[in-house]
Amino acid sequence: MKITVLGCGRWGSFHLWYASKQGYQVTGWEPESSESFALLVKNRSNPYLTLPDSVKLTTDIEEALEADQIIISVPAQLFRGLAAQLSEYDLHGTDVVLCMKGLELSTGKRLSVVAEEEGLRSRSVSIWVGPGHPQDFVAGVPGCMLISSLDEETSVRITERMGSPLVRMYRSTDLIGCEIGAAAKNVVGIAAGMLDGMKMSGLKGALMARAPQEVARLVQASGGDWRSVYGLSHLGDYEATLFSKFSRNRNFGESLVREEEMSGLAEGVPTSHAMLSLADKLSVELPITSMVRSIIDGETDLRTAIGQLFLRPQKEEFSASLE
């Protein structure tokens, strides 16, 4: 079994490490212009892990695509360009697994839709989402994650291939709900970080109660199953995203409040804009997402926005109303 990882940053390097641990032949790829990849090639390590000697690293895309399964872990906003590049190759015998949690900024589209629009010709397209951080997995802390594909056969094939005692794999065929839910949890993570930065962490309970409901409305309006929001793709990922010190989105929200610089990508920033674009097309209200976006853009005072959203009496809503 040959597995290739396209994009070898924080999560991509974990997938290299993990697939090698599973006993597969593993190749990692990034373009020659990537300075971080050059360092990985030189040092065989990054701040998160050390790669086994058996992992091959290359900048030759044709060499990298000789695989039974391709795992893609690039920033969501760069995926369309890569998908267009991959569409030039016949991948009909290859399973493609997307590990990014985001929506396309310019269109609000899910990444599996972007792959289809760009003419990606593969055996299947799945997503790999759910809670966890590379730092925890490498340290031996087990977790559960999720594979979602359009059909059960593909979901079973990928979960059986990639599951282990370290990463127990669950499966779903609700690609719409799982993609939107996984992307949206990063926006909720930013909101949680803002509360931490303002020393209002006690409001996270209200955040966790209300956020899944607005995401469920968006999923339902998009044609997905709103119940997926309450699984591993969204609500099940809250511990890792809203509380963990390793969460980039939570850290971004906290840094924004404290007016501190933060290095690294926070996918929730472009995703918040993409979600609002999608919600506008579908006539769905997203009050938490709107609050996050307005604060990021500097349009709303943070304390005023938090007060308007949380600090007023309100009748509790229930997800059952979505049925």
Q: Which residues are catalytic?
A: 185
Distance CA 112, CA 125 (A): 7
Half-sphere exposure of 234 (CA within 13 A, CB side): 31
**By the 8 A CB rule, do 133 and 108 touch?**
no
How far is residue 14 from each of residues 22, 42, 55, 167, measured CA to CA in Å?
A: 12, 17, 12, 12
Distance CA 128, CA 155 (A): 10
DSSP letters spanning 255-283 = HHHTT----S--THHHHHHHHHHHHHHHT
3-state secondary structure of 129: strand
Category of 252 on φ-ψ map: left (φ > 0), alpha (ψ -120 to 50) or beta: alpha
The number of beta carbons lying within 10 Å of the beta carbon of residue 156 is 14
Which residue type sits at 34?
A: S
Q: What's the chain's length in residues?
A: 323
The CA R_g of the chain, rounded to the nearest whole Å, is: 19
- Give 189: exposed, middle or buried? Use CB within 10 Å, 0-12, 13-18, 19+: buried
DSSP character at residue 298: T
Q: Give phi and psi for 318, each to the nearest 5.
A: -130, 140
Structure tokens at 321: 């109303």
Distance CA 44, CA 50 (A): 6
